[in-house]
Structure formats: structure tokens, C-alpha cells
Amino acid sequence: MPDWLSLCVLISLLSLLTVAALLLYSGLLCDIIVQTGCPPIKKITFAYKFKEGPYKDCGQLFRESSSIGPGLATIGVFYDDPKKVPGTLCRCAVGSILSEGENKADEELLKRYETSGFNVFSFPEVTHMVTTSFPHRTFLSALLGIMRVYPRLDHYIKERRLCAHPFLEIYRDSQIQFMAPLARQGDFYVPESRVEVALSSVAVNDNVTDSDAPVTPGSTQPGQWSIQATGDFCGPLIPSPPLSRPRRSTPPHRSRLRDLINLQLLHSWLLTLSDSRPQIAPSLSDIAHKVAFCP
């Protein structure tokens, strides 16, 4: 075998061994233990930017937040399941933890974040969360953690029929902490996430059917309003697609009247539902308010 060919083989083997060692060190085969109990964090105050879009594009927000406060732990809060919600509608909040527990945030650091367009919000301390951790050693650790941890979390939550949301990722020096609250979930939704639900979910289908009867929420008529699950909790209200069948034109005044009746029915139904579902009452109330003022 020529010397150059032997050298190429040797370099290839060394490269493969290096990549394998890097993957192993990054956490490729580490144990993942999911459990329920007290979370590793207390009440936290953090600076964040809200984003709606594919989660794969959140890296820039993490880097921006870290550049302002290099020594701070970064946090990502993810509100939607990308397997069930289109990527363009996935909501998240990304930033850095300014203080934990009873400690106060540094005023100068707080001003730097606010000057850069970050908002500030606080999460309460809760006693029960679904939690696990993953080593944070290399730039590959975050990717491996997401690929390995979320299937375990999903299986754990579904197997025990838990209601755990949203999902938090906290990046510290040597560890990534994954968690989802089992109580007070509404307190973990930043204000922008509630507004986005109202703006993106409440939309009336302009196409009318050949039936003159008003469409009631929960019915099986085309263009009905239904609650679609985006995990183990109720997701945004989304109008179901109309059935494929011939349509006939409807006089504009009758179409407008029908839309107003449908909106009124939807508004009343949302208010009733919010009273019986306290966990999602704030979001439902926001949606009901938006519906009430639809033009």
C-alpha cells in the first residue's frame, strides 16, 4: 500500500475516533433520569425576548442574551409542540436569568437588557415539576440534549397522564436543566404568548356554507370552532377546515348576519369555558375579548 494511501486511512481513522470521542463526551450515551418533584430553581426573574417561529432559529437569541450578561444562566421557554403546531406558529421566550429566590436583579445589568429590547418577567416557585438534566460540555451538548431528552419527557408525561407545560430549558456552566411545571402553568406564560394566541388563533372563516343555520362551537359543521390539543393541554382555538363540498353564493347581508351570530355564540362559549378551565382561563378570556371586538 502506498505511503500516501496509508496516511489517508490513518487520518480518517483518527478523525472518526475524534468525532466519536467528542459525541461521547458531549453526552451521547449519558443516563437520562426523568422525575417529578421539587425543581432545581426557585422564583426567578429573567430578561427575555419573545419569538414566534421555528425553534431551530432561537440560537441567535441565546447568543444575544449571553453577550449582554456572559456570566448569567440562559433560559428558553417553549410553549408549543413543534410536532403538532406549524413551525411558524411556535412560540418561545429566550433570555437570561437575572435573579433567583429573594435576590434582587442588578440594576445596571437590568438596564442593559432593557436598552437592548429585552423585557423582564418573573416565574413563581412551584413545588412540583417534571425535571431532568443533561451535561453541558460542548457545543454539541444542546443538540444532543434536545434530541435525547424530549422523547423521554414526552413518554414520561403521557405514561403518567400528567398535565405539564410549558417546557423550560436552563443552560448553566456544566448542565442543561429541562423542566415542565405541574402547577400554576399559567404563571409561566409571558404576556406576549397570550397576545399571540388571541391574534393568530381567533379568525373567522370568510367562506360560508350552503346552510343558513348558525355554526355553534363544538358542532360538526364545516368551518366549526374546535379546541385542538397541542400536547397534554388545550392549545389555541383553530377553525377546522371546511368539508369539500359544493358551495352556493349567499347574499352579503345574510352572510354578515350569520358571522355576527357565530361570533356572539363563540364569545359566550369562550367565557363559559374559561370559568370551567381555570388553568387556561387567562388565554380564553383574552380570546373572548378579541372575538367581542372583531369588526
pLDDT, tens digit, for every residue of 172-192?
989 999 999 999 999 999 999
pLDDT more than 70, % of the chain: 66
Task: Judge whether 97 lies within some domain.
Answer: yes
Are residues 90 and 167 located together in one domain of the fold? yes
pLDDT one-digit tens code per residue, 148-175? 999 999 999 999 999 999 999 999 989 9
Are residues 218 and 255 located together in one domain of the fold? yes
Are residues 156 and 218 located together in one domain of the fold? no
Are residues 78 and 181 located together in one domain of the fold? yes
Q: Give pLDDT, residue 275.
A: 58
Are residues 61 and 179 located together in one domain of the fold? yes
Are residues 256 and 166 located together in one domain of the fold? no
Mean pLDDT for 19-27 is 94
Domain of 211 in residue numbering reads as: 202-292
Mean pLDDT for 193-222 is 47
Task: Judge whether 192 lies within some domain.
Answer: no
Are residues 181 and 40 located together in one domain of the fold? yes
Are residues 46 and 85 located together in one domain of the fold? yes
Task: Judge whether 6 lies within some domain.
Answer: no
Q: Give pLDDT, residue 6.
A: 84
Which of 129, 164, 187 is at the close of a domain? 187
Per-residue pLDDT band at 126 (split at 50, 70, 90): very high
The single-letter DSSP state of residue 224 is -
Cis peptide before 217 (omega within 30 of 0): no
Residue among 164, 70, 72, 94 nearest 126 (CA): 164
Are residues 179 and 283 located together in one domain of the fold? no
Q: Which pTM value belongs to this model?
A: 0.67
Among the ranges given (95-109, 131-145, 239-253), the one the predictor scored with the smallest mean pLDDT:
239-253
98 neighbors 106 (Cβ within 8 angstroms)? yes
Q: Which residue has the higher pLDDT, 208 or 47?
A: 47
Q: Give pLDDT, residue 114.
A: 96
Which of 136, 163, 187 is at the close of a domain? 187
Task: Judge whether 60 lies within some domain.
Answer: yes
Per-residue pLDDT band at 9 (split at 50, 70, 90): confident
Task: Judge whether 274 lies within some domain.
Answer: yes
Cis peptide before 191 (omega within 30 of 0): no
Farthest-apart Cα atoms in the chain, separation? 87
pLDDT one-digit tens code per residue, 53-88? 999 999 999 999 999 999 999 999 999 999 999 999
Are residues 141 and 116 located together in one domain of the fold? yes
- Strands 74-78 and 129-135 turn out to be unpaired
For the chain, where are the E strands, in sequence order? 35-37, 44-52, 74-78, 91-100, 119-123, 129-135, 167-171, 175-181, 225-229, 234-239
Residue 226 has pLDDT above 70, yes or no: no
Per-residue pLDDT band at 247 (split at 50, 70, 90): very low
Distance CA 87, CA 71 (A): 31
Averaged confidence pLDDT in the chain:
78
Per-residue pLDDT band at 295 (split at 50, 70, 90): very low
Residue 241 has pLDDT above 90, yes or no: no
Residue 37 has pLDDT above 80, yes or no: yes
**CATH number of residue 111's parent domain:** 3.20.80.10
Residue 48 has pLDDT above 90, yes or no: yes
Task: Judge whether 18 lies within some domain.
Answer: no
